[in-house]
């Protein structure tokens, strides 16, 4: 049989799949097909289908599997998630068996914060199977038992089959458009959230996966080995609600399990040994409640991350709010002082600059606005929380601010209409808070993290924007870099930071050769703006002394070369 996998991209609290990321879904599906035996698989991203301007390509296949679902929407540079209309258009195709899986099937279609999701039941009119369970398992059953016998709600009760699918599906990475460039793959360590035992955060979809099911270290390592064998060198252990809780003590009993440094070291060392030429190894989510509840054990885990992972790593903390009333009403993780302690933990241990120019490991902060109990005071407290971070001299890699997106599986669903109405009424307050953060916090934090003169190594040139180029390193929440020149795309280059925006930095290709660089580049070199014409008129220079004699001393000497 000919099977098409359409990756419409996923973005969940625990899992990311917008390019250059490749999430687990498509890889597990491809592995399930391989395990079933004797079938051909073709992988498409939704962007690739858009470029061809036709979905009719899919009608030639026997089975079309669509994976999609954005539950934590953001802004994306690497791709555009599938639209509701595109999902329906694929569902209208005649010929193939059409199967829908991923978060969109389990939770519904969500496009933007501050709204309620479209129920996944809508898609049952268009797709033969809407898989609210595990789509890889559904594909396996369809190929071995027949589509008519598939239970779309069936889920894995352990990782035995997943581990078989995972290493067999590694080959699909070779069909990704970012393969051989800046492709980074998500690795899964466990399912759901340890806070399932207390109900979890009111808005979250992760607890809907049920009790925590932990993946054996051997399965992760074998998958990494298979991915590395086909050329993958960038990895993120991102599919878990809290990395520090992996194989933690009393998972299923405590909402903040005690970390297990021994197991985590086996995992990290196993990944490094399985992929000896890896270039990126990062993590994603960390529960600040774990860090402050288990200080010594968390310190051990952080030291392991510094030992085995690569610089630029980010521990994304689900702070959500600094308002104690909102914390209590929504069963959130930590109060403001505890969240500050978690930020301080990473600032103290992880701020040393690594070989790629970035600090080793810093905290990221997630805010969710529009939760029950929120008032004008909530926004004031959030501002005070961020001001305190600045005053204490702490470091935060990035602040993510989003409005709550309400899904049928969350406890907020019965109140969804009222919450959305309130969000609309107070949208100006949300926008003002976001503006304050970008202008007063983010810019200052970028200056601390990558001061002027820092060289960022191996940034990948992704997209031209007017007369400039956007570029990023590969990893968790890489800093967006704007180069004021149209640099060749698809290349890894080094750049030097010369200025800071709210969410990006201005950087120049490094080293800056004064004899070869364009006037457009040279005018952005600190200290050269009013001397560029004089410099160009005196080229070529044979020595730095000759250059200084022509245009004088200045800060520019810290940036240029011959």
Average pLDDT over residues 134-163: 97
pLDDT of residue 112: 80
Average pLDDT over residues 414-434: 89
What is the rounded distance in angstroms from the CA atom of residue 96 to the CA atom of residue 128?
A: 9
Task: Using the predicted structure, report yes or no on whether residue 47 has a pLDDT greater than 80.
Answer: yes
What's the pLDDT tens digit per position in 358-367? Answer: 999 999 999 9
DSSP string, 438-474: IIIIIHHHHHHHS-TTPEEEEEEEEEEETTEEEEE-S
Task: Using the predicted structure, report yes or no on whether residue 53 has a pLDDT greater than 80.
Answer: no
pLDDT of residue 2: 96
Phi first, then psi: what are they for 402, rounded to 5°? -140, 155
Alpha helix positions (H), 241-375:
261-274, 288-293, 295-308, 324-329, 336-350
What is the rounded distance in angstroms from the CA atom of residue 450 to the CA atom of residue 505?
A: 9
pLDDT over 70 percentage in the chain: 100
Average pLDDT over residues 70-86: 92
What's the pLDDT tens digit per position in 294-320? Answer: 999 999 999 999 999 999 999 999 999
What is the rounded distance in angstroms from the CA atom of residue 84 to the CA atom of residue 280?
A: 34
Torsion angle of the four alpha carbons 308, 309, 314, 317, in this order, in degrees rounded to the nearest 10: -30
Exposure class string for 488-510: b at 16+ Cβ within 10 A, else e: eeeeebebbbbbbeeebbbbbbb
Q: What is the mean pLDDT of the chain?
A: 95
Query: Which band of pLDDT confidence, cut at 50, 70 and 90, is reported for residue 408?
Result: confident
**For the chain, what are the domain ranges?**
1-182, 184-449, 455-561
pLDDT of residue 422: 86
pLDDT of residue 116: 85
What is the rounded distance in angstroms from the CA atom of residue 255 to the CA atom of residue 150?
A: 34
What is the rounded distance in angstroms from the CA atom of residue 46 to the CA atom of residue 57?
A: 12
If residue 16 lies in a helix (H) or strand (E), which one and from where to where?
strand 15-16
Question: 209-213, 371-375, 421-425: which range is least confident on average?
Answer: 421-425
DSSP string, 362-422: EEEEEEEES-TT--HHHHHHHHHHHHHHHHTT--EEEEEEEE--B-TTSTTGGGHHHHHHH
- Select from 2.60.410.10, 3.20.20.60, 3.40.50.300, 3.80.30.20 the CATH code of 184-449: 3.80.30.20
- According to DSSP, the residues that pair with 343 across neighbouring strands are none
Please choose, from the candidates 74, 100, 101, the residue with its C-alpha nearest in 3D space to the C-alpha of residue 12.
74
Query: Which band of pLDDT confidence, cut at 50, 70 and 90, is reported for residue 410?
Result: confident
DSSP 117: P
- Whether the CA torsion 464, 465, 471, 475 is positive or negative: it is negative
Query: Which band of pLDDT confidence, cut at 50, 70 and 90, is reported for residue 74?
Result: confident
Task: Using the predicted structure, report yes or no on whether residue 111 has a pLDDT greater than 80.
Answer: no
Task: Using the predicted structure, report yes or no on whether residue 113 has a pLDDT greater than 90.
Answer: no
What is the rounded distance in angstroms from the CA atom of residue 325 to the CA atom of residue 331?
A: 10
What's the pLDDT tens digit per position in 533-556? Answer: 999 999 999 999 999 999 999 999
- Whether the CA torsion 305, 308, 314, 315 is positive or negative: it is negative
- Rounded to two decimals, the pTM is 0.96
CATH class of 1-182: alpha beta
pLDDT of residue 56: 84
What is the rounded distance in angstroms from the CA atom of residue 308 to the CA atom of residue 302?
A: 10
What is the rounded distance in angstroms from the CA atom of residue 526 to the CA atom of residue 512?
A: 12
Please choose, from the candidates 340, 347, 341, 339, the residue with its C-alpha nearest in 3D space to the C-alpha of residue 314.
347
Q: What does the block give as tokens for 558?
A: 């810290």
Average pLDDT over residues 105-112: 89
Neighbours of 246 (CB within 10 A): 25
3-class DSSP string for 182-215:
CCEEEEECEECCHHHHHCCCCCCCHHHHCCCEEC
Query: Which band of pLDDT confidence, cut at 50, 70 and 90, is reported for residue 159?
Result: very high
What's the pLDDT tens digit per position in 191-224? Answer: 999 999 999 999 999 999 999 999 999 999 999 9
Average pLDDT over residues 61-70: 97
- According to DSSP, the residues that pair with 2 across neighbouring strands are 40
Q: What does the block give as tokens for 349?
A: 């241990």
| CB distance 110 to 73 below 8 Å | yes
List the CATH code of the domain at 455-561: 2.40.50.140
């Amino acid at each position: 049989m000919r099977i098409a996998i359409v990756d419409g991209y996923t973005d969940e609290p625990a899992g990311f799949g917008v390019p250059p990321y490749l999430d687990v879904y498509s890889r597990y599906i491809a592995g399930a097909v391989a395990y079933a035996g004797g079938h051909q698989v073709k992988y498409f991203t939704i962007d690739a289908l858009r470029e061809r301007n036709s979905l009719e390509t899919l009608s030639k296949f026997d089975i079309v599997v669509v994976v999609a679902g954005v539950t934590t929407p953001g802004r994306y540079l690497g791709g555009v998630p599938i639209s509701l209309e595109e999902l329906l258009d694929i569902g209208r195709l005649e010929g193939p068996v059409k199967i829908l899986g991923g978060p969109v099937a389990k939770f519904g279609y969500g496009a933007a914060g501050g709204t309620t999701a479209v129920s996944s039941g809508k898609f049952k009119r268009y797709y033969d199977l809407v898989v609210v369970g595990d789509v890889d398992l559904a594909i396996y059953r369809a190929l071995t038992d027949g589509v008519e016998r598939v239970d779309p709600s069936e889920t894995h009760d352990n990782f035995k089959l997943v581990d078989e699918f995972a290493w067999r599906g590694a080959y699909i990475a070779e069909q990704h458009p970012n393969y051989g460039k800046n492709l980074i793959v998500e690795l899964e360590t466990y399912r759901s959230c340890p806070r399932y035992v207390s109900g979890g955060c009111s808005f979250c979809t992760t607890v809907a996966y049920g009790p925590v099911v932990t993946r054996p270290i051997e399965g992760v390592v074998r998958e990494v080995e298979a991915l590395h064998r086909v050329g993958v060198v960038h990895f993120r252990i991102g599919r878990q609600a809290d990395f520090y809780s992996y194989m933690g003590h009393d998972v299923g009993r405590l909402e903040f399990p005690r970390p297990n440094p021994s197991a985590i070291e086996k995992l990290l060392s196993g990944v490094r040994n399985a992929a000896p030429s890896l270039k990126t190894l990062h993590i994603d989510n960390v529960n600040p409640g774990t860090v402050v509840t288990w200080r010594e054990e968390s310190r051990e885990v952080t030291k392991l991350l510094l030992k085995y992972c690569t610089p630029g790593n980010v521990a994304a903390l689900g702070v959500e709010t600094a308002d104690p009333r909102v914390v209590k009403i929504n069963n959130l993780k930590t109060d403001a002082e505890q969240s500050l302690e978690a930020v301080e933990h990473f600032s103290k241990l992880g701020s040393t600059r690594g070989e790629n120019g970035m600090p080793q490991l810093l905290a990221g902060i997630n805010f969710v606005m529009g939760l029950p109990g929120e008032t004008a005071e909530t926004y004031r407290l959030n501002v005070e929380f961020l001001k305190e971070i600045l005053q204490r001299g702490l470091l935060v890699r990035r602040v993510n601010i989003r409005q709550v997106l309400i899904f049928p599986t969350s406890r907020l669903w019965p109140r969804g209409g009222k919450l959305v109405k309130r969000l609309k009424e107070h949208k100006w307050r949300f926008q003002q808070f976001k503006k304050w953060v970008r202008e007063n916090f983010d810019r200052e934090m970028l200056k601390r993290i990558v001061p002027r003169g820092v060289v960022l190594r191996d940034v990948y040139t992704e997209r031209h924007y007017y007369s400039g180029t956007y570029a990023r390193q590969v990893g968790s929440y890489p800093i967006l870099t704007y180069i004021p020149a149209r640099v060749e795309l698809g290349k890894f280059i080094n750049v030097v930071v010369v200025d800071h925006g709210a969410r990006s930095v201005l950087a120049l290709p490094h080293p800056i050769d004064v004899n070869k660089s364009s006037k457009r580049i040279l005018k952005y070199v600190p200290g050269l703006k009013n001397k560029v014409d004089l410099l160009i008129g005196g080229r070529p220079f044979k020595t730095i002394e000759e250059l200084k004699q022509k245009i004088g001393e200045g800060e520019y000497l810290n940036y240029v070369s011959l």
